[in-house]
């Protein structure tokens, strides 16, 4: 098989070609650590940059700039030999031919690493998908930030309290780290930031609700952290509602499982994730949440040359869908493949829990590290330090530190800009569109694209 024909702009490998789909924590860690001289590494992603997902909510609430948590793949790997990045989305996997059908043509592989992560799970509710805001990308975060600011601009034009309150009620669904952090950030915007910009508005009309279907927040952490997070949020004015789920939402009225109704134009959906779809693999290896079943080496069950990492991978042993798990999987797989393709030389994956943490607001956070549980200023400081050190790029670290320091000492944020695209380029002519090359799917094939979230 001539790889050069199948992949027109990729050099033919001298050894084996490893294709990584998705440049999140798992894909990046694997690409950084794989160094066998006979491997050609090809990274495919729909973006040309890595996104630091734990801080999406801070972009959404104007705390830091999008560029501070983004890092270009080409910059990251510019000194890595035999590495190639291509801006592409995968349409379909053809495992029998060892091919990926992508928006840039057919790409062959010898070893395939699926690391697209997860996407928002709406549990089949089309209205929730249509009317609520997810926070799974920088684009999502900017869309939400624009919406917040636009709601306040609209509220200035309303003549009665009911219309203003409708615009200024924010509902966050999901009591995990994202839900807790978004709720806390919105509360701090209400207290410190937005009244300076909109002194004409009555901020008593701004309400923030956090809805969680179970009996406590932060279910992945201990009761100690859950109770502290709930106390912090309620002390900040957030209405924490437990043991209730969302039944429906039509863009204006949110109905809960006990038939309680909340009138709100803005609902943030942080209540669940599912694996990014993979077309072409055996349907029996999927779990109901669309994660792929893998063995102890992260091989997709039933395939010798396809691996899944990060949020997409479902292990028989416990491995939470967190950044640390993705990083550990990527590192171990790279080390295993650096020893060659003989599984007898590989080590099995076992998740090592380094701890969990979540921030609620200024000087308010919870942390559980190496058996220690603590909260308040110390947890908040540790949270900031660990996240700062985890961001790719020295410039990004400095930029984020400056943003945080300015916000901390000035009680202000300078990023309240509504930036929206106002021009969309026309589609390419049929003959020049990369997705219309001769290797595009047959008419009866599915054209659903894989979502590379991480």
Strands 306-308 and 313-314 come out as unpaired
Q: What is the DSSP letter of 237?
A: T
Q: Exposure of 3 by Cβ count < 10 A (0-12 exposed, 13-18 middle, 19+ buried)?
A: middle
The widest CA-to-CA distance across the chain, in whole angstroms, is 73
Asked if 113 and 329 touch (Cβ cutoff 8 Å), the reply is: no
Give every CB contact of residue 72 below 8 A, 6+ residues apart in sequence.
48, 49, 50
Q: Does the active-site annotation cover 181?
A: yes
For residues 165 and 162, give the distance between their C-alpha atoms in angstroms, rounded to a whole number. Answer: 5
Q: Point out which residues pair with 149 in neighbouring strands.
A: none
DSSP 122: -
Cα atoms found within 13 Å of the Cα of residue 154, Cβ hemisphere only: 13
298: nearest Cα among 261, 254, 350, 247: 350
Give CA–CA dist 271/157, Å, rounded: 33
Instruction: Kindly state the DSSP code that residue 425 receives in the 8-state scheme.
Output: P
Rg (CA), the chain: 23
| CB-CB contact of 43 with 23 (8 Å) | yes
CA-CA-CA-CA dihedral for 26, 29, 30, 34, to nearest 10: 180
SS3 361: strand
- Strand-pair partners of 111: 18
Alpha-carbon gap, residue 343 to 346, rounded angstroms: 5
Measured between alpha carbons, how far is 177 from 187 in angstroms, rounded to an integer? Answer: 15
Three-class DSSP category at 105: strand
Counting Cβ atoms within 10 Å, is residue 118 exposed (0-12), middle (13-18) or buried (19+)? buried
Look up residue 90 and give its two tokens: 């995968």
Task: Select which of 65, 181, 188, 212 is catalytic.
Answer: 181
* SS3 (DSSP) at 420: coil
Distances (CA, A) of 390 to 25, 54, 198, 324: 10, 10, 35, 11
Kindly list the catalytic residues. Answer: 181
């Amino acid at each position: 098989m001539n790889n050069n024909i199948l992949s027109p702009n990729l050099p033919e490998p001298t050894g084996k070609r490893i294709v990584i789909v998705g440049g999140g924590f798992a894909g990046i860690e694997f690409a950084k650590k794989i160094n066998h001289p006979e491997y050609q590494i090809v990274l495919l992603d729909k973006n040309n940059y890595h996104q630091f997902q734990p801080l999406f909510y801070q972009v959404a609430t104007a705390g830091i700039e999008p560029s501070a948590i983004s890092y270009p793949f080409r910059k990251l790997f510019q000194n890595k030999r035999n590495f190639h990045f291509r801006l592409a989305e995968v349409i379909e996997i053809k495992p029998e031919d060892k091919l990926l059908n992508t928006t840039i043509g057919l790409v062959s592989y010898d070893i395939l690493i699926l690391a697209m992560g997860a996407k928002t799970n709406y549990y089949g509710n089309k209205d929730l998908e249509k009317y609520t805001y997810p926070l799974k990308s920088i684009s999502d975060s900017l869309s939400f930030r624009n919406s917040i600011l636009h709601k306040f601009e609209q509220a200035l034009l309303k003549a009665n309290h009911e219309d203003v309150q409708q615009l200024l009620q924010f509902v966050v669904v999901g009591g995990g780290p994202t839900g807790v952090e978004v709720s806390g950030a919105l509360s701090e915007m209400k207290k410190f930031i937005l009244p300076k910009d909109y002194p004409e508005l009555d901020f008593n009309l701004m309400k923030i609700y956090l809805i969680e279907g179970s009996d406590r927040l932060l279910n992945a952490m201990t009761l100690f952290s859950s109770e502290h997070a709930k106390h912090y949020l309620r002390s900040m004015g957030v209405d924490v509602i437990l043991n209730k789920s969302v039944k429906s939402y039509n863009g204006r009225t949110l109905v809960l499982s006990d038939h309680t109704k909340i009138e709100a134009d803005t609902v943030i959906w942080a209540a669940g994730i599912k694996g990014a779809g993979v077309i072409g693999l055996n349907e029996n290896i999927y779990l109901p949440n669309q994660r792929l079943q893998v063995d102890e080496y992260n091989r997709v069950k039933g395939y010798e040359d396809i691996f899944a990492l990060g949020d997409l991978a479902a292990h028989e042993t416990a491995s939470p869908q967190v950044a640390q798990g993705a990083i550990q999987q990527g590192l171990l797989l790279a080390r295993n493949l650096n020893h060659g393709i003989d599984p007898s030389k590989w080590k099995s994956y076992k998740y090592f829990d380094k701890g969990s943490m979540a921030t609620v607001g200024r000087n308010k956070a919870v942390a559980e590290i190496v058996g220690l549980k603590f909260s308040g200023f110390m947890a908040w400081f540790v949270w900031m330090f660990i996240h700062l050190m985890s961001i790719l790029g020295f410039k990004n670290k400095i930029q984020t530190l400056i943003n945080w320091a300015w916000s901390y000492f000035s009680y202000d944020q300078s990023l309240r800009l509504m930036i929206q695209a106002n021009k969309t380029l026309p589609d390419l002519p049929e003959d020049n569109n990369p997705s219309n090359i001769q290797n595009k799917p047959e008419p009866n094939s599915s054209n659903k694209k894989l979502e590379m979230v991480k």
